[in-house]
Structure 1
Amino acid sequence: MKRTIHSLCLLAASLLIASPLAPALQAAEPVVMGSGAMTFQTVPGWGLRPDGNSPLGATHGGVVVDKSGNIYTSTNQGVFVFSPQGTVVHTYLGDDYKSLHDMEIREEEGEEYIYGARNQNAEGIKFKVKGGDVVLRLPFPQESGLGLKRFSPTAITVAGNGDIYLSDGYASNHIFVFDKTGKYLRHFGTKGNGEKEFNTAHGMTLDTRYTPNRLLICDRNHQPKGRLVHYDLEGNYIEEVVTGLGMPTSVAIQGDYVSVPDLHGRLVILNKSNTIIAVLGNNPDPKKGRSFNVPQNQWVEGVFSGTHGSYWDQDGNLYVQDWNVSGRLMKLVRLPVK
């Protein structure tokens, strides 16, 4: 089903309840945002060190949550793991873990693995959550016969049978499919602004709301405005799901709901019919929405900047990462419906 947003900013302004903009270094009060079943409250200072500074360094990545409730976020220097209370409990640092632009987490035969798309390192990667051992690398598949001059993966997801989908979103806009051992199977998609083309296939996940499952893909720079599209697992176009999203960067699903960060500085939530039911964190300042260079002393509680990654925990809380020079990860606690 196709939906178009004609007044996204107006809707966001009406849904966001926030105090006047103030320097982030001042003591922040929790901010309530959203509506109905998708109402959330921020947790000021969550994930910061005791001195009040972010431990992350620059962020340009994703977020996942393991079955124990720990939160993993990728940064330019590696992957940081937080407890639900916001304390760093583990890190994966070093060349193998730098610059994971997108992540997925899967349990396979009783063990959890993280899959990552590494745009700067021209590969997909799979490593064990326990211990961090790299068990699979997915470089550009020469077997495809494409002879690309550049390979820059931005998104990765995994089907129920173990097939791996890796989007070359910053280069060819092909989506490459591998089996669970890393054997190249096929590719689909091409760059452009046509109905069945991608203009930056930036984010992607397995849409488990449908049987059989589908691929839900962020076509971030599609003109006139960014959109989400559905493809089947063989690579056949199904439909345009929603358009008018600004610059959708990634998608995360819990039950019937989908969270969609928009690089302009907001996050929208869709329901099962792909209707927008909440807008979170809308940034009213066009200079700070879609901006990497918002230092921590200019962060505003409840207002996002370059919104890039998100993920749900088992309780329906959201963790949201900004593309940010200082490294910003936020916890939004889902409030009970009154």
Structure 2
Amino acid sequence: MSRRIFLKQSSCASLGILLSPLYSNAFSFCDNKDVIIGHNSHQYKVNMNWGNLDPLKTPVKDCHEMVQDSKGRIVLLTNHTKNNIIIYDKSGKLLETWGTQFPGGHGLTLCKENGEDFLLITDYERHQIIKTTIDGKVIFEIDYPKETGKYNAKEEFKPTETTVLENGDFYVADGYGNQYILHYNHKGELLNIFGGRGTGESQFLNAHGICYDNRDKNNPSILISAREMNILKRFSLDGNYMSSIDIPGALICRPVIHKDHIYFAVLKSKKAPNSDSGFLLIMDNNNQVVSCPGATAPTYNNSNLEELYQTIRLFQYPHDVCIDEDENVYVAQWNSGNTYPIKLTRV
């Protein structure tokens, strides 16, 4: 093997760009500077270099979640305690970092109060939800809900995600714990609890992600991903089960609403359960999948979505997406060899 080929293949491998055995026509991203992925109206050019930093100065571990703040900055949560929060501009330039006390930092949600940005962070190792200012000042911490009688010890409470209503109320998904959904007011006072572990309509196996859906202004609801069940479940704001959407073969993370569409990072597919086989999924307001960047094109048979699987190993356990005002998508990845996020530019 020539030195040139060796260096090229090593570079591709370092970026996690490997060819999938599931896709005979797969190609190397390193051979094409303008790789386009996705389907139909939602297609994207891949930027593997966005947000790459000096790992000695600004390391990442698991890049769990990303949000965009009111200034247009991209805020990343990693569970590396040298810099739990990394803030970029949209070009991928580092602006600032903070946070050294979130070893289980997993969920990141932006909330706004009186024109000011705040963050809600869930930490499953601390068994807490933490509210901070955008620059890291702690406003309050919420411990496990002992008063509900649903938990015997704090170790049973391992929250993974939050979502916020317009009035400041927020919901917490205990996705790594006892699988309950908790409803708090803006002060952090518990108002309601529902869900729990199980396979019933209103129960969950890995209630991993949660999202407030106000696209129908007259009937706002809560969307919750039951990841191990390959199902997205919809609940009323008072915790009553409404409906489910099956997403065969996809271990979906947090649902993210942008305009009329729902975006997901799919951690991996059941067709390749032991590989880093993730992809993205985009669903319209009729609950129809319209694009699967990195995966098979969405196909329906008698109104049933065919099982999805990865076609090109671009992503390594994608865990969250953030969509900016230009329709670009930023992808955070879990357990991906300490890699920084990937940017997909809408075309």
TM tier relative to shorter chain:
0.7 to 0.9
2-structure distance, mates of 1:54, 1:322:
20
- SS across alignment from 1:125: strand
- The within-5 A match list for 1:280-291 is 280-282=293-295
Whether 1:213 aligns to 2:220 is yes
Over residues 214-257 of structure 1, what are the superposed CA-to-partner deviations in whole Å (9 max), with x where a residue is unaligned?
Answer: 111110012xxx11110011010000023315211111111101
How many equivalent pairs are there? 298
CA shift in 2, pair 1:98/1:88, >3 Å = farther
Q: Which runs of 5+ in 1 are unaligned?
A: 1-11, 284-288, 291-299
1-structure distance, mates of 2:324, 2:57:
22
- SS across alignment from 1:247: strand
Of structures 1 and 2, the one with the larger relative CO (CA 8 A, separation 6+) is 1
Whether 1:276 aligns to 2:289 is yes
Look at both structures and tell me which one has the larger radius of gyration over its CA atoms: 2
- The within-5 A match list for 1:136-175 is 136-149=140-153, 150-175=156-181
Whether 1:31 aligns to 2:35 is yes
Matched to 2:76, the amino acid is: T
Please give the root-mean-square deviation of Cα atoms over the aligned residues, in Å.
2.6
Identity among equivalent pairs (%) = 27
Residues 259 and 270 of structure 1 are in contact (CA less than 8 Å); yes or no, is this contact kept in structure 2?
A: yes
Whether 1:303 aligns to 2:314 is yes
Corresponding residue for residue 69 of structure 1:
72
2-structure distance, mates of 1:20, 1:158:
40
CA shift in 2, pair 1:90/1:215, >3 Å = same
Residues 151 and 157 of structure 2 are in contact (CA less than 8 Å); yes or no, is this contact kept in structure 1?
A: no
Residues 145 and 151 of structure 2 are in contact (CA less than 8 Å); yes or no, is this contact kept in structure 1?
A: no
- SS across alignment from 1:328: coil
Corresponding residue for residue 342 of structure 2:
330
2-structure distance, mates of 1:54, 1:44:
20
Please give the TM-score of this superposition, normalised by the length of structure 1. 0.81
Shift of 1:52: 9.2
Corresponding residue for residue 3 of structure 1:
none
Q: Which runs of 5+ in 2 are unaligned?
A: 1-21, 269-277, 297-308
Corresponding residue for residue 180 of structure 1:
186
Please give the TM-score of this superposition, normalised by the length of structure 2. 0.79
CA shift in 2, pair 1:144/1:35, >3 Å = same
CA shift in 2, pair 1:88/1:242, >3 Å = same
Residues 75 and 327 of structure 1 are in contact (CA less than 8 Å); yes or no, is this contact kept in structure 2?
A: no
Whether 1:108 aligns to 2:113 is yes
Query: What stretches of structure 1 move > 4 A for 4+ residues in a row?
Result: 51-55
Matched to 1:332, the amino acid is: L
- SS across alignment from 1:310: strand
Shift of 1:53: 9.0
Shift of 1:126: 1.1
Residues 166 and 177 of structure 1 are in contact (CA less than 8 Å); yes or no, is this contact kept in structure 2?
A: yes
Over residues 14-66 of structure 1, what are the superposed CA-to-partner deviations in whole Å (9 max), with x where a residue is unaligned?
Answer: 9xx96336xxxx687232111232111111311113x7999442114111011
